[in-house]
Structure 1
Amino acid sequence: MRHWFYSFIIASLLLSLTFTSTSASSQWYETQGHASIDDDDIAVARNKAVENALKKALLVAGASVSSVQQVINGLLTQDQISIRASGSVNAIELVDELHSGNLITVTIRADIFPQEKKCFAVNFKKSLLLTKSHLVNREQANIGKIYPIDTAIIKKLEKHLTADSNFTYSRSIFNSKTEFSRLNNSLEGERIKDLVRSLGGSTDSQYILFSEINDLSFEDQATNSWQFWQQGIYPRTLSLSFYLYSGFSGDLVWQKDYQDTAIWSFTKRKTIDVNSIIFWQSEYGSMINNMLTQVTKDIDENVMCEPSKGKILQVNGNKITFNLGRDHGVKIGDEFTLLHAKDFNSNEGKRYSGFNISPYKVKVTQLTRGTAIAHTPDNSLFGNIQINDFAVRY
């Protein structure tokens, strides 16, 4: 048994190193599975227990349950573990194995990448925090004095999301810029994670959106034979980059660049109010509006199938309060799974964030716009569940 255990760990660690480098948006989940030992066939029972544990992890992560058989087909072969990677599971590690009578209990840790197009949480809105954009080349805003465009574009995006997004509940902070652009330019990934987690925690947001305005320049040639600015019809570019992060893990979920050009129909020295109807009804303003319509669709597409996670704000006996409510689509009677945040270190000393999937589930009994109160149906207590852990609906 010990020989089997250590050969499993060695194999799974090698697989971890292979697959985690190719899946930036994956997440580690730790959970238990159970199975009965029939006719003293421990190997078959172990397989069933691992399947049971992996199914729980896949559901909570938002992956396809059907992928259980694809992932662990032929999991146990004599003394070796054979793991076949798919689009959902990058690696599996056996953490513990316990025998009690004819029951076998295994604890596994799985690195899971949610499978595309499998939607388990489309009825719930994810909280999204919008931050002030960053003007990369500030001098380009001098013509028209459109320096406030770093805020105006995100305010307009917020209106698009409020009106047209089916899967986000957005809010914004514009009082000050974040350090994101400086950290991103310096490739300081860990400090970006710290920033994202801080913003997610302080604003109760599941996702954080950053953006950069890369280009506001004019094309070199006018669109007609008139002299420069005589008719005010020079094409002006807009280049935007958006970065969507998980407010819980700090990981980058989605990133995309957008670029387009439209006529700048204002004279050279005229100061333009980028919050005015005149600006947004101009060709350039209309071009930005169309771009933000596409951004809204892209954000929806990238969050619609993700599980809705709420942070636990209070634990009292068999009752919890978490930060999802009516505005997020939660209803009385909805059932949530509980996750205990659990970081761990690999053999190489690298730190990974992950979740321990609690055996307890809760049912929502009270709601406000932004919070829910839920109880365990059988009045059982929560064990290690505490404030800042998570309630997840898949």
Structure 2
Amino acid sequence: MKQIILLVGMLISMSTQAIWYEAKGQATIVNNDFEQAKSLATQDAVKQLLLYSGASVTSISKVSGGQLTLDQIEVVSKGSLHNLTVLDDGNHGQQYYIILQADVFPATSQCKASGYSKNMLLLPPFLKQQHQARVGQLQELSPAVEQRTYDIARQVGNQFNVKPPPKLPLNYYKPGEHNYKGIKDVADRYGAQYLLGLEIENISLDQVHKPKFINLSYPQRYFVVNARVYNAIDLEEIYNKRFSVNAPWEFDAREVVSPHSAEFWLSAYGETVNATLQQVVTEVDALLACQPLQGSVVKVLGPDRWQINLGKANQLNRGMLLNLIHQNYHWGNWDIPRQEQIMADSMVRIEQVYQESAIVVAVDPSMTANIQLGDLVSKQ
């Protein structure tokens, strides 16, 4: 029995505009089983493409030799993929990768927000086990991963504007503590709608590192990272995924390796870390495609004019209408927020637009007294 439900795949008109996307899937090669790794990597890449199309992916079942058929996808989709082709595949160390390309027909009813870039801030990565950095003297791994993730996000991010890494204390971000007030404060300070936090859980070796003249093979070194995305306006965690990979550690036991150096990033381990960070950014990009664009009223300029923290960088234009939402937070026990949002009776219109801000006026002048600092503006 077919396991795929395509709601409008056959209903898309020929005039619908397709968007060309690439997606990179990855999987760890276990026990030299390349076919299984290829299958899992293919599933991962197809899932990302389906998310771009506005799909809600429940599961992807077995794939034989990386060959995927529609019968093997369980998905409710309001978009579709066409001309699915393989651009490249292979392995870096113990990681198998495949790059797929497809013409994506987005679901206009579900992903109208895909045309707007959301503001995202990368939090300083948290290195959980500091002592594991001793081999190679990788104490600077967190800032190096932060910079590399920022560079990747600038290159491949279609659905967000990544803000430059903030000057926050080392290990400022501590996952699991749910410091919602801290999340909101940082987001407000840097004008971010979303925060991406990385927790590096494990960079240990799978065996005692012996001198090269004794060791017949390189030890495997792990890179386990948990990625979380927070909606800083709704104060909710909207993404939480753990990535676990490993690759040969090709350096001598006592060799000092700077994680900022080309030597590190061109090694098998560095390439595996880089590929994992690319996967994180690609998945987050796909996730944000169908999230609404939201910003805040940040300044009162007069009795009928306000400044918002969105602008040309978010694809806003003069004359565009935005929804206005009144927002309140009620902080309960353990500083857990209870949010209240009320849709205003009137919208606001963009009067002037700059790169990262805009000036808005109320469409209904009688509503001006109700617009306050901290109110939300939204483009669905």
**8 Å Cα contact 1:193-1:249 kept in structure 2:** no
**Aligned counterpart, 1:253:** 238
Identity %: 21
Determine helix, strand or coil for the equivalent of 1:286.
helix
Range with greater deviation from structure 2 (284-293 or 327-336): 327-336
Query: 1:150 offset after TM fit, Å?
Result: 0.7
The yes-or-no answer on 1:240 pairing with 2:209 is no
The yes-or-no answer on 1:392 pairing with 2:378 is yes
Question: Radius of gyration: which is bigger?
Answer: 1
1-structure distance, mates of 2:141, 2:128 = 12
The yes-or-no answer on 1:168 pairing with 2:160 is yes
Determine helix, strand or coil for the equivalent of 2:153.
helix
Deviations 1:265-312 (A, max 9, x none): 111111111111121111111111111111111111221111111110
2-structure distance, mates of 1:345, 1:282 = 48
TM-score by length of 1: 0.63
2-structure distance, mates of 1:327, 1:260 = 35
**8 Å Cα contact 2:125-2:173 kept in structure 1:** no
Determine helix, strand or coil for the equivalent of 2:256.
coil
**Aligned counterpart, 1:353:** 339
**8 Å Cα contact 2:202-2:222 kept in structure 1:** yes
Query: 1:123 offset after TM fit, Å?
Result: 1.2
**8 Å Cα contact 1:215-1:237 kept in structure 2:** yes
Q: RMSD between aligned alpha carbons?
A: 2.8
User: Which of the residues 262, 266, 276 maps onto 1:291?
Assistant: 276
Q: How does 1:1-394 map to 2 (within 5 A)?
A: 118-171=110-163, 172-177=165-170, 179-181=172-174, 184=176, 188-189=177-178, 192-220=179-207, 227-228=214-215, 233-315=218-300, 316-343=302-329, 352-377=338-363, 379-394=365-380
Range with greater deviation from structure 2 (127-136 or 170-179): 170-179
1-structure distance, mates of 2:171, 2:188 = 15
Give, as a single letter, the amino acid of the residue that structure 2 aligns with 1:393.
K
Query: 1:221 offset after TM fit, Å?
Result: 7.8
Determine helix, strand or coil for the equivalent of 2:115.
coil
Query: 1:178 offset after TM fit, Å?
Result: 5.1
2-structure distance, mates of 1:263, 1:386 = 56
2-structure distance, mates of 1:250, 1:342 = 12
Deviations 1:181-222 (A, max 9, x none): 2x62xxx44xx1111111111111101122211111111288
Deviations 1:17-52 (A, max 9, x none): xxxxxxxxxxxxxxxxxxxxxxxxxxxxxxxxxxxx
**Aligned counterpart, 1:81:** none
Determine helix, strand or coil for the equivalent of 2:318.
coil
Determine helix, strand or coil for the equivalent of 2:114.
coil
1-structure distance, mates of 2:331, 2:119 = 30
**8 Å Cα contact 1:317-1:381 kept in structure 2:** no
Deviations 1:308-339 (A, max 9, x none): 11110123333221000111221222210111
**Aligned counterpart, 2:73:** none
Q: Residue 265 and residue 252 in structure 1: after superposition, are their counterparts in 2 closer, same or farther (change >3 A)?
A: same
**8 Å Cα contact 2:324-2:346 kept in structure 1:** yes
For structure 2, the 5+ residue unaligned runs are: 1-53, 55-106
Query: 1:144 offset after TM fit, Å?
Result: 0.7
1-structure distance, mates of 2:260, 2:330 = 48
Determine helix, strand or coil for the equivalent of 1:342.
strand
**8 Å Cα contact 1:321-1:371 kept in structure 2:** yes
- Judging by fraction of residues, say which structure has more helix: 1
**Aligned counterpart, 1:87:** none
Query: 1:342 offset after TM fit, Å?
Result: 2.9
Give, as a single letter, the amino acid of the residue that structure 1 aligns with 2:290.
C
**8 Å Cα contact 1:128-1:209 kept in structure 2:** yes
Query: 1:156 offset after TM fit, Å?
Result: 0.6
Determine helix, strand or coil for the equivalent of 2:356.
coil
